[in-house]
A and B are shown apart, each in its own frame.
Chain A
Amino acid sequence: MSSEAITRPAENAARLKGDRLIDFGGLALTIVTLGFALMAIFPVYWAVVTSFKSETEVIASGIALWPSRINTEAYEHIWTNTNIGIWYINSFVTSALITAGVIVSSAGCAYALSQLDFPGRRLIYVLILACFMVPMQALIINHFVLMAQFKLLNSWAGIILPQLIVPVTIIVYKQFFDNVPREFREAAQMDGAGHFKTLFRIYLPMNWGITSALAIITFIGAWNSFLWPFLAATGEATMTVPVGITQVKDAYGIVYARQMASAVMAGLPVAVLYLIFQRRVTQAIMLSAGVKG
């Protein structure tokens, strides 16, 4: 009477896996995986540890995995002797404005494409899809010329504007708006709500999760962007953190504690965002790549 249960594949598989030899192999594999993970994160750890050493300890021979004394000299130095404070303001302001601009323009555009019927709708959608393929790196010269014409080089606006083109956000929003049942919109319009009210009171709140996910990765992307801010901001006062820390290091000579301190400062905001919102970050990245997560 129990033969029926035993032939069920799941239980057979479980029984096979119970074999001691396979268990041992599995354990070894787990240990190897953990080892590789530690190796992968080690450079980050090493940068952080180095930043807390004194410059003399940094160049001492041997591998000291922990500073002999926690030393914040490097941080004090970069905060008092470089413009990192200004770069921080530049980075936060430009990244926040890029995020706000991308989210608002994308949500509006996606709502119109998803819910409204108007002439040129298909054309705009095709143009957005086409925009996907465009290598922004090829447009650097003409973005530079354009920003020079507007007299926006070395300004926040000059850094922000070319980074507002993020077609993928529109595509993701449109997919989510397409899935909102039509009854919600019809009910809202019965109550006399206009399109804007429908968007801001129903569609966006219903998709709050995806909005925050997209906002976080847009912010991370903007914070991390290098090539355009590097070209658009040539004065030390207008640089962003990731650009600034590579441009003034030559003046240091061999001062790796300070370099690592500036690297830690540059990476900290995005690392913290990722560690707090891991699930949202990975969800948004998978959606942007067109993979259902």
Chain B
Amino acid sequence: MIRDKRSEYLAALILVGPFVVIYGLLFVWPTIQMVMLSFTDAPLIGPGDWVGIENYVEILTHRLFHNATWNTAYFVLLTVVPNTLVSLAIAMAVNRLKGWQQGFVMACFFLPYILPVSVVYLTWNWIIDVQYGLVQYIVRPFNGGEPMSLTRTIPFFMPTVAVVTIWWTLGFNVLLFIAGLRNISPEIYEAASLDSAGRWRQFRKITWPLIWPVTALVLTIQLIAQLKIFDQVYLFSIGGRQDPTIVLVQYIYKLAFQQNKGGEGAAAATLLFAMIIILSVLQYQALRARGEK
């Protein structure tokens, strides 16, 4: 019996070992290092002196940090709720289709989601191109017959990137909503149509309340994902002015990798880290309170 226990421990050690090593080396250690680095004036690579909370004071009073925070919040506002609502509408439309129609429609909406971000960027960068892009056929009449660069005109930058992001990621949300819709018993709708409830009433009284747990899940997944936004925003700003449209991860990148301020970058990273952990814990608590997880 004791031999059995010992062999069980040994097996567990070997099986859990690789993950624990990876986890410790590439997650726990860098996290500790990040916090330590944030209290020094170190460059990206190399030693630095302890400066206490100076970096945090510096960042929190830095105009660019305020910019980055507001732009990130603006991006969240432009994407999270619209994406969720559009996805729900599409999911309901797809869910009532059958056979090849459903498969085809689903593939059309989902395919963009599995493409790399740089493919999405190149494709849309071509579509919105100021000289030859297709979107200019729509833009010109609204702009006095003149073409306009949607990513170089600052007020249009975030909305444009938001639309592209929604197009790119909605397949994921549609998938979750369809799974949720299939869990609603058809008998409930049958009973409702017996009461001759209209489509809108059916949606408000049955679909919306019953799909709400999925809606909440989609909203929180989106919220946390969009706070970490970098790729699209960075790519669409290549070659243009980056500061007016900078987002938080881009701010970290700029401080650490472009200005070689490792300490300040780490302080900004620690702030983002803390923000997302707090939100995630709140989300987890909310889900657990509903008995979902």
Interface residues of A (CB under 8 A from B): 9-10, 12-13, 16-17, 26, 29-30, 32-34, 36-38, 40-41, 43-44, 46-47, 50, 58-59, 63, 104-106, 108-109, 111-113, 116-119, 121, 124, 127-128, 131-135, 137-146, 148, 161-162, 164-165, 170, 194-196, 199, 220, 223-224, 226-227, 231, 241-243, 245-246, 249-250, 254, 256, 259-260, 262-264, 266-267, 270-271, 273-275, 278, 281-282, 285-286, 289-293
Q: Are A289 and B176 in contact (CB under 8 A)?
A: yes
Cβ B34 vs Cβ A138 within 8 A? yes
Complex formed: what's the CA distance from A63 to B137 in Å? 10
- Shortest distance from the beta carbon of B4 to any chain A beta carbon, whole Å: 9
Q: Is the CB of A41 within 8 A of B111?
A: yes
- When distances are taken between beta carbons in the complex, the residues of chain A under 8 Å from B129 are 254, 256
Query: Would A263 and B119 count as touching, CB distance under 8 A?
Result: yes
The number of inter-chain residue pairs (CB within 8 angstroms) is 294
A-contacting 9-mer, from B21-29, B59-67, B144-152? B21-29
Which among A30, A43, A112, A266 is the interface contact of B12 at CB below 8 angstroms? A112
B-side contacts of A119, CB under 8 Å: 9
Question: Given A246-B235, A290-B293, does the pair A139, B22 have CB atoms closer than 8 Å?
Answer: no
The answer to the question of B77 belonging to the interface, with a C-beta cut-off of 8 Å to chain A, is: no
Known A-B contacts: A139-B30, A140-B253, A143-B26. Give 19 more (CB < 8 A): A9-B191, A37-B108, A38-B108, A40-B112, A41-B108, A43-B123, A108-B16, A116-B8, A139-B31, A141-B34, A144-B256, A164-B22, A195-B7, A224-B116, A242-B119, A274-B111, A275-B107, A286-B176, A291-B180
A227 to chain B: closest residue by CB = B230
Taking a contact as CB atoms closer than 8 A, the residue among A30, A112, A224 that contacts B15 in the complex is A112
**A267 near B119 (CB under 8 angstroms)?**
yes
Residues facing A in B78-133 (CB within 8 A) are 90, 93-94, 96-97, 101, 103-105, 107-112, 114-119, 121-127, 129, 131-132
The number of residues on chain B lying at the interface, defined by a beta carbon within 8 Å of a beta carbon of chain A, is 101
**What distance in Å separates the Cβ of B145 from its nearest Cβ neighbour in chain A?**
15
Alpha-carbon distance A146/B277, docked complex (angstroms):
23
Which residues of A sit under 8 angstroms from B269, Cβ to Cβ? 138-141
The 6 closest A-B pairs by CB, nearest first: A133-B280, A142-B30, A108-B15, A37-B108, A195-B11, A118-B12
What residue of chain A has the Cβ atom nearest to residue B102's Cβ?
A33
User: Chain B's nearest CB lies how many Å from the CB of A132?
Assistant: 7
Instruction: Report the separation of the CA atoms of residues A248 and B227 in the bound assembly, to the nearest whole angstrom.
Output: 28
Option from B121, B189, B196 in Cβ contact (under 8 Å) with A246: B121
* 13 A/B residue pairs, CB under 8 Å, sorted by A: A13-B190, A40-B167, A118-B13, A127-B23, A133-B284, A134-B276, A141-B265, A165-B26, A224-B115, A241-B116, A250-B238, A259-B125, A271-B111
Smallest Cβ-Cβ distance to B13: which chain A residue? A118
A195, B31: Cβ atoms closer than 8 Å: no
A242–B276 contact, CB under 8 A? no
Task: List residues of chain A with CB within 8 A of the CB of B127.
Answer: 43, 46
Question: Would A170 and B19 be within 8 Å (CB), given that A30-B101, A139-B27 are in contact?
Answer: yes
Min CB gap A43→B, angstroms: 5
Contact B123 A134 (CB under 8 A): no
Asked whether, in the complex, the Cβ of B122 is within 8 Å of the Cβ of A271, the reply is no
Considering the chains assembled together, what is the distance between the CA atoms of A164 and B115 in angstroms?
A: 21
